[in-house]
Amino acid sequence: MAQTTLKQKLGTTAAAAASVVLCAAFLLPVAWMVATSLKSTSEIFAIPPTWSFEPTLEHYQRFAGQARIVSRYINTIIIAIGSSALSVIVGSMCGYALARLRLRGAGVIATLILVSRAIPPIALVVPMYLVFRPLGLLDKHITLIITYTSFLIPYVVWLSRGFFIALPTALEDAALVDGCSRLGAYFRIILPTALPGLAATMIFCIILAWNELLFALILTNREAVTIPVSLAGLAADTEQGALWGPLTAIGTLTVLPIIVFALFVQKYLVTGLAAGATSGATN
Amino acid sequence: MTRLEALGGQTSKVTAPRRNLRRVFEPYVFILPTVIILITLLIYPLFYTLQASLSNFDTFTFSPATFAGFRHYERVLQDNNFWSSVRVTAAYLLAALPLQLALGVSIAFLISVQWPGSKIVRALFIIPMVVTPVVAGSMWKMLLDPLWGYVNYLLTLIGGKPVLWLADTNLALISVVIIDTWRWTPFIILIILAGIVSLDPEPVEAAKVDGANWLQRFVYVILPMLRPVILSAFLVRWLGAIKMFDIIYTATGGGPGNATEVINMYIYDTAFRSLSFERASAMSVLMVLAAFAFTFLFIRFSHWVER
Amino acid sequence: MFASKSRRVFTIFVLTLIVAISSVGLSSAQEQVTIYGMVNDAFARIWLENLVPAFNEKYPNIEVVIDPVPYGELLPKQLLELTSGAPSYDFIVTDDPWLPQLAATGLLMDLKTDLADVTDPDYNWDDFAPGALAAGEWNGGQYSVPVRSNLLLMFYNRTLFEEAGLEEPGEGYSWDDLAADLPQLVRDTDGDGTDDVWGIATYFGRDPLTPTIWQAIFNSNGGQLFDAELNPTFNTPEGIEALQYHIDLAQYGPPGVSAYTFTDTLEAFRQGRVAVMFNWGSVYHGVAINPETTSLTAEQVGVAPLPGGSAVDSSSHRGIWTAAIPREAANPEAAWTFIQWMTSQEGEVFTSATVGQFPARISTLTGEAPQDWLVDVFAAINAGYDAIGQGDMWRPRLPDSDGVQQILALHHSRAMTGDVTPEQALADAEAEIIEFLTDKGYYD
């Protein structure tokens, strides 16, 4: 008996060590990005590369107090959260129907929704521009929120469909017997039960929306421009070149909020997805 | 199961026609918002793309002008660059998807082991996905730079020779696959991990009692149970991968030659650089059709495997 | 009765008040105008911070709003903006090869004729260097005017030339001279057995701007991409030779130079690792003056046009940013006031001294340089204008200029990596360009 525990302990320690090493390997490029953002330009271009350096905030100061960057930050937050929330609410209803309700052609509908993600964004953005412009909808937060749902909803439908299949049926049956309508039962009983899974889905949606570039580039000019557009400008600077310092600095600033958010909801991240992933492909 | 449920509903209660009607229409209330949003947003762009692919496109008004038949499709199918981009895309998918799946499943298994810091490690794995593609591409370009990059420096430290990661025709696509794997393996890890955590623990315990070691348990017990999760992760990843190009755009620009020009990048350049919207549209249509066909096959295959 | 009467009086009173207030508001609104411009992200900020305030000192009633767009998506955005309904911009700033595409829509104003009435009588069109002004011409109309003159120039690191025991490039420096110098500029300065400074960095990787280097070499030897009927004329022994020359240059670059485009080139030169760089003139400030971006000083950095060939004794290529005004713009006069100010002699002196952009007027270029470091730059630009004028050194003047450059870039890159021979690359490029232009209806 004691031998097994020892063996188990050893196994756990080995697994822990290995996962820390692997995690570090995946994080190394990001760590490099953060380190580079804190180096002076001459240290960035040292040959051979340096390991220790005098940290400086000069590259961050470039953005501090730039009204444009701050407002674009706020735009990005509004648009990412808005589009993700809308997608999760709407998409999860669909996912529920496809998973639980008797629906003619559910499989075909699910496949079609999934495949709509394969349309090249370039084929969507130009016609969208042509429609939105005469309607006066360019450069509005709501426009980006709505258009982002076009690529987020399929994602939500596909994942949430999995969660609902895994959910026990007893709860909603009880609600239905109590005289609730399906819709009432859904919002009162089912949605709260699936909340952790939906929270995880929402994190993925936020990440996708947070980094979206092409729609933001074409559909905004001034008021609703997002951070990825600023980054694209920095990376394609035709005067100074892509300056490594500023680029890594704003890159770090962009990653930070999501990391904080992810650590905050890490509990949901694994338990939430669990149900969805296991049964996602079983039906 | 849903059918049984429905039958039960019909027999247990006094069947009122209104109730039946509600049963039929109710599901559509649930899918309606999604369908309306997707159709509103996608139907016109799809129609426009289809129309543009069949017309002589007028760049001066940005609209399809006269009907051109299948001329653009013919041109696309005779275009060496198109077929080259199809080959590059296929090579990238064949290398990246299995690699990411294998790595993702193994790492997920590894970090599914509980220890005091395991939750933090799991959450940290999300970070590579968060880095904006433009930054991720530039960042890797810098890391792989033969002059100032850390990767070659580390190589020389351990006695290797400096390598031209992005400038060498044969290596460039491999480098792209490495970057893509770094970026998207975490997605697979998180989904598979979620699957592992929610597995029924009983068969695993039973195998343990029977004296199976961890590798045997993984290969013969856990992996088969995970098959549906793996397939589902694969589907989502596959549909993301076929339209990937942002990283390539910043890291190699499709070069050297057309070594890293994937189909979606070629469509982008044709539309926005060469301003040949009609050809870009024809390629988009072909790409969506191909994506649909393959996805359908994958889903069929997954059903077949489960049975 | 009484109540309704008083209400009527009250209504009239209120209406009068509203009319009075709004007429005051209107008259002041007429004076105060806001104009909107779509500008390359790379210089939008410096315009906002330095250029606009200076303009507003003289014209406080014109507010200038500048929207930056990243370079890569600027052309499609401007094209969409122009072609789909009432323009939301009063001026757009566009790159050299894009102007024909934008002008061909018929949606830009001809600045010389449409705005003649509101042009300052002192605004001297003839003072512009003809090669520079040509960047805004299309089909005989003047659809835009140079605001940010830019040419391919040769930058050289004087210290590295000196250390290698070489004379720095002077008048009449030729491609052969460069070929002779380059091997000696690759050196191991710290004696550890590996080279650590190199001869050259420039565009070699896959990029629409990479062929401009080949084009400059080809043009300076008398070659042209097309004849008058748009038949490709570059698949010739001279064209192949120029391509081979460009490819061979990469032997003398740092490791990985074969993938270099704009940024890598710039960084290698700014960090003092290469002796020669071919790049756009507008990088000069960031290369020689601004300590935040460069390790070099103005004394170290020499600047001149690219070397000369058999037909023209120096070479360059044009990449001038010009400003245009949409035909349906809301405030074309105010926009033209801003652009005139910026491109007047006074404006050019100001912008070259503070915004780091180069003039297109002969009087500015030959006049007293507003900053010491601009003396060399002005001389190089002057010589560059001569060269481009003599050798027609610019990208094809067609609406589909970028499409042609895109095809050239691909096949250039294939030759660069050794996938195909230069002969094969140019033959493929020729065939593809003919197919592309046929498709676009150029030979109808």
Confidence of residue A3 (pLDDT cuts 50, 70, 90): low
| Strand C152-157, strand C274-280: pairing | antiparallel
Confidence of residue B10 (pLDDT cuts 50, 70, 90): very low
Chains that touch B (3 or more CB pairs under 8 A): A, C
Please state, for a pLDDT cut of 70, what percent of chain C lies above it: 93
The alpha carbons of chain B give a radius of gyration, in whole angstroms, of 25
Q: Do B273 and C73 touch (CB under 8 A)?
A: no
- From residue B262, alpha-carbon distances to A251, B78, C411, C413 in Å are 25, 17, 17, 16
Q: Could you tell me where in chain A the CATH 1.10.3720.10 domains are found? A: 63-279
Nearest CA distance, C350 vs chain B (angstrom): 34
Helical axes C332-343 vs C345-354, angle rounded to 10°: 70
Token pair recorded at residue A184: 């009432």
Q: Do B275 and C261 touch (CB under 8 A)?
A: no
> What pLDDT digit, counting tens, does each position of B269-292 carry?
999 988 899 999 999 999 999 998
Chains that touch A (3 or more CB pairs under 8 A): B, C
State the Cα–Cα distance between residues C213 and C205, nearest whole angstrom: 12
Higher per-residue pLDDT: C185 or C373? C185
DSSP 8-state code for residue C300: T
Number of inter-chain CB pairs under 8 A, A vs C: 79
Domains C33-149+319-367 and C152-317+396-439 share a fold: yes
Q: Do A236 and C41 touch (CB under 8 A)?
A: yes
CB proximity A5 to C under 8 Å: no
Does the structure show a pLDDT above 70 at C18? no
| Averaged pLDDT, A58-78 | 87
- Domain assignment of residue B45, yes or no: no
Residues of C in Cβ contact (< 8 Å) with A236: 41-42, 70-72
Of B27, B271, B306, the CB nearest to A97: B27
> What pLDDT digit, counting tens, does each position of C44-72 carry?
988 998 999 999 999 999 999 999 999 99
Token pair recorded at residue B162: 């400096």
Lowest mean pLDDT among B142-146, B197-201, C25-29, C303-307: C25-29
Among all chains, which residue has been given the structure tokens 């990469």? C250
CB proximity A155 to B under 8 Å: yes
Average pLDDT of chain C?
A: 91
State the Cα–Cα distance between residues A30 and A46, nearest whole angstrom: 19
* Long-range pairs of C221-230 with CB within 8 A, sequence gap ≥ 24: C221/C309, C221/C310, C221/C311, C222/C309, C222/C310, C222/C311, C222/C312, C222/C391, C224/C392, C225/C396, C225/C404, C226/C396, C230/C398, C230/C437, C230/C442, C230/C443
CB proximity C70 to A under 8 Å: yes
Token pair recorded at residue A219: 């559909």
> What pLDDT digit, counting tens, does each position of B244-258 carry?
888 999 999 898 999
Taking the domains of chain C in order of start, what are their residue ranges? 33-149+319-367, 152-317+396-439
> What pLDDT digit, counting tens, does each position of A97-134 carry?
888 887 778 778 888 888 888 888 888 999 999 999 99
State the Cα–Cα distance between residues C393 and C67, nearest whole angstrom: 31
User: Which domain range does residue B155 map to?
Assistant: 81-306
DSSP 8-state code for residue B54: T
Residues of B in Cβ contact (< 8 Å) with A231: 132, 134-135
| pLDDT reported for residue A183 | 81
CA-based nearest residue to C134, from C363, C341, C397, C387:
C397
Q: Do A233 and C65 touch (CB under 8 A)?
A: no
Q: How many domains are contained in chain B?
A: 1
Of A47, A113, A118, the CB nearest to B288: A118
Residues of A in Cβ contact (< 8 Å) with C65: 222
DSSP string, A120-145: -HHHHHHHHHHHHTTTT-TT-HHHHH
| pLDDT reported for residue B225 | 81
| pLDDT reported for residue B8 | 37
Nearest CA distance, C298 vs chain B (angstrom): 24
Token pair recorded at residue C6: 């008083």
CB proximity B41 to C under 8 Å: no
List residues bridging with B64 in a β-sheet: B57
CB proximity B246 to C under 8 Å: no
Nearest CA distance, A206 vs chain C (angstrom): 24
Of A102, A150, A235, the CB nearest to B38: A150
Q: Which of B144, B168, B275 to mutate to test the interface with C (most CBs of C within 10 A)?
A: B275
| pLDDT reported for residue A36 | 93
- What CATH number does domain C152-317+396-439 carry, 1.10.10.10, 3.40.190.10, 3.40.50.300, 3.40.50.150? 3.40.190.10
- Domain assignment of residue B182, yes or no: yes
CA-based nearest residue to A107, from B294, B295, B234:
B295
Token pair recorded at residue C156: 């050289």
Confidence of residue A202 (pLDDT cuts 50, 70, 90): confident
> What pLDDT digit, counting tens, does each position of B44-86 carry?
999 999 999 999 888 777 778 888 889 999 999 999 999 999 9
Does the structure show a pLDDT above 60 at C2? no
The alpha carbons of chain A give a radius of gyration, in whole angstroms, of 23
Nearest CA distance, C410 vs chain A (angstrom): 20
| pLDDT reported for residue B126 | 85
Token pair recorded at residue C86: 């009432």
| pLDDT reported for residue A11 | 84
- Domain assignment of residue B28, yes or no: no
Cβ neighbours, 10 Å, residue C298: 19
Largest CA distance in chain A: 76
CB proximity B147 to C under 8 Å: yes
| pLDDT reported for residue C17 | 54
List residues bridging with A25 in a β-sheet: none
State the Cα–Cα distance between residues A226 and A242, nearest whole angstrom: 19
Q: Do B257 and C419 touch (CB under 8 A)?
A: yes
CB proximity A57 to B under 8 Å: no
Lowest mean pLDDT among A14-18, B226-230, C12-16, C116-120: C12-16
| Averaged pLDDT, C151-168 | 97
Is the CB of residue B288 less than 8 Å from the CB of residue B305?
Answer: no
State the Cα–Cα distance between residues C385 and C390, nearest whole angstrom: 9
State the Cα–Cα distance between residues B298 and B307, nearest whole angstrom: 14
Residues of A in Cβ contact (< 8 Å) with C266: 240-241
State the Cα–Cα distance between residues C52 and C66, nearest whole angstrom: 9
CA-based nearest residue in chain A for residue B239: A118
Say which CATH number the domain at B241 has: 1.10.3720.10
Question: Which residues make Cβ contacts (< 8 Å) with residue C158, sequence separation at least 6?
Answer: C168, C299, C300, C301, C302
ipTM, 2 dp: 0.88
State the Cα–Cα distance between residues A188 and A173, nearest whole angstrom: 13
Lowest mean pLDDT among B228-242, C296-310, C388-402: B228-242
Q: Do B258 and C399 touch (CB under 8 A)?
A: no
Residues of C in Cβ contact (< 8 Å) with A240: 42, 266, 283, 286, 293
CB proximity C254 to B under 8 Å: yes
Higher per-residue pLDDT: A271 or C388? C388
Q: What fold does the segment set C33-149+319-367 form as a domain?
A: D-Maltodextrin-Binding Protein; domain 2 (3.40.190)
* Long-range pairs of A19-23 with CB within 8 A, sequence gap ≥ 24: A19/B107, A19/B110, A19/B111, A19/B113, A19/B118, A19/B121, A20/B117, A20/B121, A22/B107, A22/B110, A22/B111, A23/B111, A23/B121, A23/B124, A23/B125
Is the CB of residue C44 less than 8 Å from the CB of residue C67?
Answer: yes
Does the structure show a pLDDT above 60 at A241? yes
Q: Which of A101, A173, A178 to mutate to test the interface with B (most CBs of B within 10 A)?
A: A101
Nearest CA distance, C372 vs chain B (angstrom): 33
State the Cα–Cα distance between residues B263 and B86, nearest whole angstrom: 6
Nearest CA distance, B249 vs chain C (angstrom): 11
Confidence of residue C14 (pLDDT cuts 50, 70, 90): low
Q: Do A217 and C38 touch (CB under 8 A)?
A: no
- From residue C216, alpha-carbon distances to C154, C157, C384 in Å are 12, 21, 11
CB proximity A239 to C under 8 Å: yes
Please tell us whether the domain made up of A63-279 is placed in CATH 1.10.3720.10.
yes
Chains that touch C (3 or more CB pairs under 8 A): A, B
